[in-house]
Structures are given as structure tokens and as C-alpha cells.
Chain A
Amino acid sequence: MAESNNNKPVILEVNNLKKYFPIKKGFFKRVVGQVRAVDGVSFFINEGETLGLVGESGCGKTTTARCILRAVDPTSGEIRFLKASGETVDIATLPEEDMRHLRSEIQLIFQDPYASLNPRHNIFDIVGEPLFVIQQMTDRGERTERVRELLQLVGLRPEYMQRFPHAFSGGQRQRIVIARALALNPRLIVADEPVSALDVSVQAQVLNLMLDLQRKLNLTYLFVAHDLSVVKHICDRVAVMYVGKLVEMAPTDDLYYEPLHPYTEALMAAVPVADPRIRSAMIELEGDVPSPSNPPSGCYFHPRCQYAIDICAQEAPALTEIKPDHFVSCHRAQELTLTGIGEPGEAYLRSKIGER
């Protein structure tokens, strides 16, 4: 799996990652069960690309991201990261001291820019803090210069350096969060729902900024999101999670136009098309997402799957590469013909607007 089709090296490889949270009950806090938030997830990211991690709420996508940052300690599995020095380390078992040094190479962009900036620190303090703490840049003048550079990079005016977060709008705050993440020249950025708290007219600005920075700085993104349109727009490859497991991973267009897993098909069918002439395209999925503390037998998706056969309830399918670079975990992946996002009704709409 470490081999990728293009010649870029694999920067992050996750192997059979598991994170179980114990359920405790009673006076003695007896462990009565496990919430299998992440249950054997494997994927890889090539340097300079964007991997999207999508799924419904509770599917374990945020927990996966947090394991990569070691914000939570994984239960088992490997997280192999290629450092700038060329050395590969396993984040899952790295001692805390080494992890601290590694964190300058892996940075996080949070979901809610209103909650992730300290209201009592000005922008200089917020963006300059990692420089001071990790890079030991004690000279204030030098730090000011670097913060100025960073603010310009994300499209904010350096004069705003002395202002406090409350003076900025949501989009501007997210730019500050991005500037802070970039302060230490990271190579991998984990973005956890970076635009879902923003207004739609501002989302496009932040997405454009992320694309622009990726081209300029050769960044690698792990983009965690639930909005399939945003993910389609920004990702090279997409991985779909369902109840703690990866069900499908493929290059973006393959996944959207020719999905191989019935769950991916259902997700695509549920996206409302922004064109009133294409109505009732929404095919609904029966039932609800099962609880990760009590998942069904076999393939976790089988109770809701319209293609399920006997084997689906008994055996859990493994993630296998069916087509080059297209991984899927479904017993019937070879025989099924599934539909993706289909008619490009909006492409038509967009071209019409473009004519104006």
C-alpha cells in the first residue's frame, strides 16, 4: 500500500488504526463496553496532495484526525509519518518529548474560528506564539517580521497585528487560524471542517486561500468534512468512513462519478442538486446510522444496503484495491454497477452564468 501511482513519496500512512473509548458504568466504573470510534482504518496521503475524509456525524472522522495529531492516544495501529529529514516515525507510539518536536511539521486548522482564538491575545501574540515556544525566536523584532510575512501570506493586512480577535469577521478569523498553523512551516495540515462554520459567500474565499497556499508551499492536507461539494472541490482523493471503518477510497472524480460502495452511492444520491429543473433526484437511505458501541454483524452497512446478500451479514469485507488507486470494502464491489452524481445539471447552470 505504500506504493503510490504518482512518484510523490507517501507522507502519512495509517495502518489498521483503532481507537476504542470505554463505556464505564456503576460506582466502580466497571467497563461494560467499548465505543469503537475508529475501527481498523488504513489510508495513505502522498506529499503535496489533499485527501478528503468524509462521513456522517459519529463516523469517526474527527477521532481519526485527532489520533494523527496524538490529541488522543490510539488504542492500536500504526501512523507512519515521513519527516522532513527523510526519517519515518510511528506517531502512534512516539514518546511525548519527540512528539512535541514533530508537531511543528503537523498542524491543525480547527472548525470554529470563534472558539479557537484566545480573545485576550492580539493577533501578534496568537500567530507569534508558536515561533516563540517551538522555534525559540526570542527576538521581538524578528518575530514581528515573520508574523507580518504570515499575515500577508493569508491575505490579511499586517497593520491589524495589534488588534484582538473580536475585531475580525469569521472568514478573517479563519485566516488568522491558518496563519498560526503555517508559522512553523508545517508539511502536513489537518483541517477539521475548516469552512463549515463560515457563511457561504466567505467559504469560497477560504477554500481559494487553501488551494493557493498548497500550490505556493507544497502543503499536504488531510481535509475532514461532511460537505460533499466542498470536498469534491478541494480534494485529490477522498476516503469515505462509515461507523468507524473506511468503506471506500479513490481519486475524487472516480469516487463521485463511479462509486463502488453502496454507501458512497447513497451519499451521492442524497446531495440536493442546486437546480430546480432536476427535482426528486434525492434517493433516501432507509434507517439510521448504527451506534459504534453496538455495530451490526458482518459489513456494518448491510442492514441499510439495498444490495445486501447473505454473506454481508456474516463476514466483514476487507478494504481491497479493485481498480488502480480505487479501494473499496464491499463483497459485491466487482459485480455491482452503481451510479454517481450523474447528470451535470449544475455544470449547465454554471456555464450559463459564465456567459454573462
Chain B
Amino acid sequence: MDNDTNPLLSIRNLKTYFEMDEGTAQAVDGISFDVYSGQVVGVVGESGCGKSVTIKSVLQIVQKPGRIVGGEIIWRVQQADGQEKLIDLAQLDAQGKKMRSIRGSEIALIPQEPMAAFSPVHTVGSQIIEAIRLHTAVSKKEAKRIAIERLHEVGMPSPEQRMDAYSWELSGGLRQRAMIAMALSCNPRLLIADEPTTAIDVTTQAQVLNLLRKLQQEHNMSIIFITHDLGVIAQVADYVVVMYLGRIVESGPVDDIFHNPQHPYTMALLESIPTVHSASKEFLPTIEGSIPHPFNRPAGCPFYPRCRSFIPGTCDTQTPSLQPVNEKQSVNCFLHHQTAVEKQN
């Protein structure tokens, strides 16, 4: 891993709200994290936690009525003269030339459903060639050569023939490989993978995860990996961000998140998931209740109605903030706020 001190991508207090007639859904509510060069950042959370909206905000593809209402998304670009420049992606026009030159080229996306992402009426090859020619000034022939090379790289059997295949002719695993080849076609510096293995079977999932790990090392890319599967996160991520209802509840290196979790939600989540090693036919520890509707978000800490360590009078009235608990980990909980603990005593 490249030990650059400056992050490649730095999200600062990002807020993306959906303003609707029924009310405002604070899908992403003031989150901050960094992605360094060559790092794999895993973003975990359940449905409605804002993990997908976060990456959609980075790419400026949030669907209406959602919009970025505050915060910064600082992207470090390398200019032709070797100088580095910082750009705030949140300020760019979503349809503008600058954003379009970054999206798909420097920052690429692997969507969740490759079936829905590919056009069924164009061949896989023509879609990859289109992406290459959109971002680089190469001839059609050269683009085709690059596309075949990329397909070969992701382990597509007989890539020359598969260039002329339609997405629906490929199996789930091959389709996801073609998607990865397309995402890699312009040598992105940051790859965003939005639940890339959720729609596929476990043996294919292992193939895709091993492939992503291999490509990440070969290209020294950064990856933001979004998933709700803690097993997948443990296998691929260097750094983990745990989200709940639009906020980051805990962030830290993967080993600390799994072996030394600090936030009650992270702890409960790790305990409540059955694994192949847990004892059969025994009751699992559970998290009571269910995820609140975004319009009925609890005041104070969003997790307090389900929390085992709820401090009455504090958690339901004040909002905690993400604060470091040691040199690597940060936690968004009053249990770790010095002032709150004093108040309690």
C-alpha cells in the first residue's frame, strides 16, 4: 500500500437530503471519511443507512428529489504537468464537462445488478469500446484492442468472441466480469463497487472477490466497497466505515472493527449474524426492533431506541458526534464522549 499522506478522496460533512412532500429524508447526514491511494474502504450498513446515496453523491448521480445540501467531496487530481490539484466534486455541475470527464474515467462504478446496468440491445464489446472512446482519444481499432485486453485481464474465457455477445447471453459471473472490465477500461484511480456480489451465488462471489483483490493490487487502485455482508467486508477491506441511518457510527481498520468493536451497533451486528461457525439450533442475540422509517427518525442518536447501552436523558436528547477513541478508530457514541460520561456520573 502506498503511504501517501494526502487522501485521494476526502468526504467532509456530506449531507444529501431528499426533499419530498411527506417530509425530508436525511439519507446522508453529515458523514466524513477519507480514501487513501491503494486502500480498500468497506462501507457496511443495512438498508436505508445511506451507503448507496453516499457513493451516488460522490459520482453526482443522486436521483431527484435528492440533492447534496452541504459538505465537501475533495478529489485529488493529477494534472498533466505533474502538479496535484484539489477539486470539490460537490460543487461541480452534475451534467458539466468536468464531472463527466471524471465520472467513469477517474472514478468508475461497478453497479449492483450487472443485468440492469448493461444495455440488452448492444453487445458487451461495443459498450466497453464506447466507454473507452468517450474518455480517451483513441481510434476504434485501438479501443477494441484495449477492450479485449481488459476482458482477458478479468478472466473472461475467449474474450475475442465475447466482445460480440449480448449481456443476457452471459452467466451471472461472466456478466459481472464484463462489468468489471468496463469499469477498468479507463484505468480509474478509484473504483466504487456497490454490492457487486449481492445478486450472485456464493461460488461466483468467491471468484469475483478474488478477482477484485488481484486487480486492486496490480493496478494499485483505491476501492470503495459497499456491502451489507460482513463476511465479504472482512475478506476485502483495509478500512471499514459502519453506517446507520445516514450517519457513520464507527470507523476504523478492519481488524479493529471485527476484533475490538466500540459502538453498541457494531457489536450487536457482529453478534446477531449467524455464521457457519456458530452453534446450530441456538437462539441468536438480536437487535430489538427494526430500522426506523427515514421520516420518523428518532431525535438524538438515531440508534438509541434499539441500543442496549442507552443512557436516558442523553442519547434521546443530544446528538453524538464521531470522535476518535484511539489513534485509529472513531466512534459516534456518548459512551465514548468524556463529557457525557461525566454527566452520567
**Which A residues have a C-beta under 8 Å from some C-beta of B?**
56-57, 169-172, 199-205, 207-208, 211-212, 226, 228-230, 232-236, 252-253, 256, 266-277, 279-285, 288-289, 341, 344-347, 349-350, 352-353, 356
Contacts and interface: CB of A to CB of B under 8 A. Distances in A.
Interface size class of B (residues with CB under 8 A): 35 or more
Contacts of A282: 206, 209-210, 235
Residue from B231, B267, B272, B281 having most chain A Cβ neighbours under 10 A: B281
B290 A208 contact: no
Interface of B: 46-47, 171-174, 201-207, 209-210, 213, 228-235, 237, 254-255, 258-259, 261, 267-278, 280-287, 290-291, 306
B272 A200 contact: yes
Given A201-B268, A271-B231, A276 B258 contact: yes
A211 to B, nearest CB: 6
A252 B209 contact: no
B271 A353 contact: yes
Contacts of B286: 201, 204-205, 208
19 contacts: A169-B291, A172-B290, A201-B269, A201-B290, A233-B282, A233-B284, A266-B203, A270-B206, A272-B234, A274-B230, A274-B231, A274-B273, A276-B237, A277-B259, A280-B235, A282-B209, A284-B203, A341-B277, A349-B259
Given A169-B291, A200-B273, A207 B284 contact: yes
A217 to B, nearest CB: 16
Contacts of A256: 276
Contacts of B271: 350, 353
Contacts of B259: 276-277, 349, 352
Prevailing SS type, chain B contact patch: helix
Contacts of B231: 229, 271-274
Contacts of B258: 274-276, 349
Contacts of A171: 290
Contact of A56 (B203, B230, B255): B203
Contacts of B287: 201, 204-205
B275 A229 contact: yes
Given A273-B234, A275-B234, A267 B255 contact: no
Contacts of A211: 281-283
Nearest to A291: B171
A349 B257 CA distance: 11
Given A200-B269, A273-B231, A349-B258, A228 B276 contact: yes
A232 B255 contact: no
A69 to B, nearest CB: 24
A272 B229 contact: yes
B277 A345 contact: yes
Contacts of A350: 271, 275, 277-278
B232 A356 contact: no
A232 B274 contact: yes
Nearest to A256: B276
Contacts of A232: 274-276, 278, 280
